[in-house]
Chains A and B, each alone.
With several copies, the nearest count.
Chain A
């Protein structure tokens, strides 16, 4: 059940990140991902950064070989899509803190957009290596969210990690929920800051994926399979896991600490 679609729109979001839009009818919700096949290259899991209607989208950061190659795709190029897979963000919270690092905004933006459209109040803490890499800042602002930023190099907003911003916001404002996506250490910190305040935290996590059908075990994270049980989990489900924030598994299934190859 794979559909070949052609890219209808291409937007360079940051110097390292591109959004591809394409027609795809299957209904989807914020949090869900597709397996997107770049013919002649890899097939990768990608969150839908545009989930509504028949024009879907993914937003891809140049990381490894495939995601770098993908930056060169043009309108009219063909890709294979299957999905959407996985679960969705629970959009019922009314005051939401959104904490995004790097390409994490790709999955957070459509969730925030849907929540905002139904009247939720959103505060967004956005982090990146430098100012030009802040993903979807404008999109968050356009939906009426309060946006605070942090950059590793201090080129804009708080100098340092976005977790610092998030911790401050959690200490000073009241939220019904936190939604976060980014490096696991970041999400861990956010979850630990929110825990004592009894604010539920939902993390969108990434793991190696092959089948996306809950079968091949590539995405196993402790007892869960990210592809079907996730990718969105309540933090309390993740924090007790030995692997969360510490290690993932490489394509052979070997456990590899984060930050090493």
Chain B
């Protein structure tokens, strides 16, 4: 028996997570049984697919392109069964004991607010706002790309719901911290960063984009530096907790995010490469690393890289 085992539970505002590892939105989140499966595999909480007002088939295939073991480009196109049907999936996951965080996307503040209200009613413990969905089909920019947009959406949602609201920030911006500050001022209880990085794949032999939609979002190891930079910048400008996302597949990656300022992390693409068992490995790996470095808890490591002795 080891005398000291680091405490892995973390708090995101009023929310207590049994460990810092959340299933990222869009991964395994279409069905309640899958959400429950990720919870059973050891996730500290699971985030639903981003849910919209109406059922959406998403873009046609090809929807993904993968790059050896360092990256994945996707343009799923936010497929989801819609807010009408989705509550049964949340119920299925909750029935199995999962800590479920809802994710919603909309075209404007009003739509976000209405979706949030309805998803909150299913008993999710928090709501994450996907502030990186395209404004309109085929057009490059995103709903949450200016501080004003972000503030308007967060404000509208916070008025509607009592659960903590997490603003998920895009990396495709000159100043992610400015978006986070806007979200915090508007009442967000936490900031998550990042969503995918805008990208495109071309097949030269076929002289066309690979993804049916053309533009997509890059995820996986390649974006870890990008996510770390955003978390680093955001952490030093907001008071609310930050949740790190982007390229996390090992406990070392997660620890780097904690030290950059994340209080919890989300894991997406790693599920594709390593299977859902990745959560078990992340949990035990982080525990060992924290012990080895002498941290008594995951929380104690949060932001450590900002205060390194020189």
Contact = CB atoms under 8 A, between A and B. Distances in A.
Direct contact of A and B (CB under 8 A): yes
Interface of A: 1-2, 4, 35, 37, 39-44, 78, 80, 82, 209-211, 213-218, 220, 222-223, 225, 228, 249-255
Nearest to B85: A254
Interface stretch (B74-82, B132-140, B177-185): B74-82
Contact of B56 (A39, A42, A80, A252): A252
B294 to A, nearest CB: 13
B59 to A, nearest CB: 9
Contacts of B74: 211, 216
A39 B208 contact: yes
B275 A43 contact: no
A200 B64 CA distance: 36
B297 interface: no
Nearest to B27: A215
Given A37-B62, A251-B79, 7 more contacts: A41-B310, A42-B212, A210-B79, A211-B63, A228-B275, A252-B57, A253-B80
A38 to B, nearest CB: 10
B64 A213 contact: yes
Contacts of B82: 252, 254
A253 B58 CA distance: 10
A252 B63 contact: no
B205 to A, nearest CB: 5
A220 B30 contact: yes
Given A39-B208, A252-B58, A253-B79, A214 B33 contact: no
A213 B272 contact: yes
A217 B60 contact: no
A52 to B, nearest CB: 25
23 contacts: A1-B67, A2-B65, A40-B308, A41-B310, A82-B66, A210-B63, A211-B74, A213-B66, A213-B72, A215-B268, A215-B271, A215-B272, A216-B64, A217-B27, A217-B34, A217-B49, A220-B30, A220-B34, A250-B55, A252-B55, A252-B58, A252-B79, A252-B82
Nearest to A251: B57
B206 A4 contact: yes
Contact of A43 (B37, B62, B66, B85): B62
Contacts of B173: none
B68 to A, nearest CB: 7
Most buried by B among A215, A218, A254: A215
Interface residues of B, number: 48
Given A218-B79, A250-B57, A252-B58, A39 B206 contact: yes
Contact of A214 (B49, B206, B275): B275
A108 to B, nearest CB: 25
A255 B31 CA distance: 10
Most buried by B among A42, A210, A225: A210
Contact of B272 (A37, A39, A214): A214
Contact of A251 (B29, B58, B72, B275): B58
A220 B33 contact: yes
B61 interface: yes
A250 B55 CA distance: 10
A37 B209 CA distance: 12
A251 B271 CA distance: 21
Contacts of B72: 213
Contacts of A78: 205-206
B55 A254 contact: yes
A225 B34 CA distance: 9
Contact of B27 (A4, A39, A41, A216): A216
Across the A-B interface, the 4 shortest Cβ-Cβ residue pairs: A251-B57, A43-B61, A217-B30, A215-B272
B29 A217 contact: yes
B309 interface: yes
Most buried by B among A1, A251, A255: A251
Contacts of A214: 271-272, 275-276
Contacts of A37: 61-62, 210
Interface in B29-60: 29-31, 33-34, 36-37, 49, 55-58, 60
Contacts of A209: 61
B272 A211 contact: yes
A72 to B, nearest CB: 14
B203 A253 contact: no
